[in-house]
């Protein structure tokens, strides 16, 4: 592993890149201990601070973990589904927030992905998954629920649907998409009438999952997508109208 001191790129970035390649390609295996910071600084012929900055970059990606004390050091980290999942949510959230992604585009992507596991979920869901979905539906029908709590429950329900497919790789990919949509959903105020319709469609999803009818799950999701889009449209339209109305009508 070599670096180029004359490259315009930061030395710490180059070092991080070199070590990252070694991890991704499998030359460094899980739980293997990297050389100590002092040894690395000798190998790369840089100071210890530079090595440390490189290691922090890798730690930020959960590729290594560090341990203090004797026989401590930096170890190649086994990337857990949970870590990958959390990173994915952060990235997706920032991506949606920063790139003026329209509600429709995000919504379309989210439901397209979710339908991808409709059939698998219908086939493999356990009683547990179904119970979770039913419980969230009951919660969503309670009148006093705040919009945030309603959205959180919505996420939990869809999460159960995704997990029901019994494929952790799929769960990792999808849960990121579903949860990253939450900030956008939180921007919508749900009237009692809206909630009743959503709960009804959630009920259809649960019924279809119970009956192990994948196509019905998919169809219900499709309808939910349509309803969510029109709902968002009307909320945004109403908000735009309030904006242009005389001052004093705004809160």
Partner DNA sequence: AGACGTTTAATTGTCTGACATTCCTTGGCA
Partner DNA sequence: TGCCAAGGAATGTCAGACAATTAAACGTCT
Residue 250's nearest CA partner among 238, 223, 45, 172 is 238
State yes or no: residue 170 binds a second copy (CB under 8 A). Answer: yes
Q: Which of 70, 98, 127, 192 binds a second copy (CB under 8 A)?
A: 98
Contacting range for a second copy; rule: CB under 8 A; set: 17-25, 139-147, 148-156, 232-240: 17-25
Q: Residue 21, CB half-sphere, CA atoms under 13 Å: how many?
A: 8
The nearer residue to a second copy, 101 or 135, going by C-beta atoms, is: 101
Residues contacting 163, CB < 8 A, separation 6+: 129, 171
State yes or no: residue 56 binds a second copy (CB under 8 A). Answer: yes
In angstroms, how far apart are the furthest CA atoms of the chain?
Answer: 69
Q: Are 91 and 178 in contact (CB under 8 A)?
A: no
Site for DNA in 41-100 (CB under 7 A): 45-50, 52-53, 55, 66-74
Residue 47 binding result from a second copy, DNA, none, given CB thresholds of 5 to 8 Å by partner type: DNA
State yes or no: residue 38 binds DNA (CB under 7 A). Answer: yes
Q: Which of 1, 38, 95, 149 binds a second copy (CB under 8 A)?
A: 95
Distances (CA, A) of 27 to 5, 30, 76: 24, 10, 11
The nearer residue to DNA, 3 or 151, going by C-beta atoms, is: 3
State yes or no: residue 37 binds DNA (CB under 7 A). Answer: yes
Residue 16 binding result from DNA, a second copy, none, given CB thresholds of 5 to 8 Å by partner type: a second copy
Provide, rounded to whole angstroms, the least separation between the CB of residue 155 and a second copy.
16
Residue 51's nearest CA partner among 64, 62, 126 is 64
Spell out the SS3 assignment of 101-126: CCHHHHHHHHHHHHHCCHHHHHHHCC
The nearer residue to a second copy, 120 or 235, going by C-beta atoms, is: 120
């Amino acid at each position: 592993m070599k670096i180029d001191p004359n490259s315009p790129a930061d030395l710490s970035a180059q070092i991080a890149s070199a070590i990252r390649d070694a991890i991704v390609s499998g030359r460094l295996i899980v739980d293997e201990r990297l050389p100590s910071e002092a040894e690395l600084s000798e190998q790369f012929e840089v100071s210890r601070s530079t090595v440390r900055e490189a290691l922090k970059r890798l730690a930020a990606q959960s590729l290594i973990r560090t341990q203090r004390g004797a026989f401590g050091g930096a170890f190649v980290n086994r990337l857990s589904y949970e870590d990958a999942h959390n990173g994915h949510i952060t990235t997706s959230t920032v991506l949606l927030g920063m790139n003026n992604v329209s509600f429709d585009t995000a919504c379309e992507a989210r439901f397209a992905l979710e339908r991808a596991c409709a059939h698998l979920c219908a086939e493999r869901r356990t009683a547990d998954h179904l119970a979770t979905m039913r419980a969230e539906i009951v919660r969503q029908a309670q009148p006093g629920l705040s919009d945030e709590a309603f959205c959180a429950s919505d996420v939990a329900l869809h999460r159960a649907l995704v997990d029901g497919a019994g494929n952790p790789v799929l769960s990792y990919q999808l849960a990121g998409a579903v949860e990253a949509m939450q900030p956008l959903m939180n921007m919508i105020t749900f009237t009692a009438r809206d909630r009743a319709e959503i709960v009804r469609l959630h009920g259809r999803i649960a019924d279809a999952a119970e009956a192990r009818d994948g196509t019905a799950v998919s169809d219900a999701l499709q309808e939910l997508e349509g309803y969510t889009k029109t709902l968002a449209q009307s909320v945004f339209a109403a908000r735009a109208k309030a904006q242009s109305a005389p001052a004093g009508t705004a809160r």
